[in-house]
Amino acid sequence: MKKSFLLLIAAALLAACSSNEMTVELKEKPIGFSRVYIDKSTKAIRKGPYTTDNFEYVGNTFGVIGYKTTATQTNVKVFNDVKVEYQDGLSAPFAATDWAYSPLVYWDKTATQYSFFAYAPHSGDFTGTVALGSNDATTFSITGFKQATTVANQIDLMTDLTNQNNVTANIGNNDVKFTFGHILSNINVTMAVSAALKADETDNPVSVETVTLGTITMDGSYAYDSGASAYKWTLSTPSPTTADFSATQSSGNVFASGALTTSAADVPGLTGMLMIPQTGVGAFQIYVKYKIKNEVFERTIALSAFKKSGTSLGTWDPGYRYTYKIVIGPTPILFDMDTVSDWGDGGVYTYTIE
Tell me: do 174 and 43 sit in the same domain.
Answer: yes
Three-point CA angle 280, 281, 282, nearest 5°: 90
Confidence of residue 46 (pLDDT cuts 50, 70, 90): very low
What is the pLDDT at residue 48? 56
* Mean pLDDT for the stretch of residues 344-354: 95
The residue length of the chain stands at 354
Which tens digit of pLDDT belongs to each residue from 129-141?
Answer: 999 989 999 999 9
Tell me: do 202 and 191 sit in the same domain.
Answer: yes
- The answer to whether the CB of 45 falls within 8 A of the CB of 156 is no
Tell me: do 291 and 193 sit in the same domain.
Answer: yes
* Mean pLDDT for the stretch of residues 280-287: 97
17 membership: H or E segment, kind and range: helix 2-19
Is the pLDDT reported for residue 15 higher than 60?
A: no
Is the pLDDT reported for residue 71 higher than 90?
A: yes
- DSSP label at residue 11: H
Strand partners, 39: 181
Total domain count, the chain = 2
Tell me: do 244 and 284 sit in the same domain.
Answer: yes
Confidence of residue 44 (pLDDT cuts 50, 70, 90): very low
In a domain, 317, yes or no: yes
In a domain, 342, yes or no: no
What is the domain-level CATH number for residue 248? 2.60.40
Which tens digit of pLDDT belongs to each residue from 286-313?
Answer: 999 999 999 999 999 999 999 999 999 9
The whole domain housing 86 covers: 37-182
* Mean pLDDT for the stretch of residues 151-169: 90
Distance CA(246)–CA(252), nearest Å, equals: 13
Tell me: do 46 and 69 sit in the same domain.
Answer: yes
Distance CA(38)–CA(190), nearest Å, equals: 25
Using alpha carbons, list the distances in angstroms from residue 279 to 149, 189, 231, 309, 321: 19, 19, 15, 20, 15
Confidence of residue 7 (pLDDT cuts 50, 70, 90): very low
199 membership: H or E segment, kind and range: helix 195-199
Of 122, 148, 182, which residue is a domain's last?
182
Tell me: do 91 and 199 sit in the same domain.
Answer: no
In a domain, 48, yes or no: yes
Tell me: do 60 and 143 sit in the same domain.
Answer: yes
What is the pLDDT at residue 49? 85
AA letter at 263 = S
Mean pLDDT for the chain overall = 88
* Residues in contact with 36: Cβ distance below 8 Å, sequence separation at least 6, in sequence order: 52, 55, 56, 62, 99, 177, 178, 179, 180
Distance CA(240)–CA(331), nearest Å, equals: 41
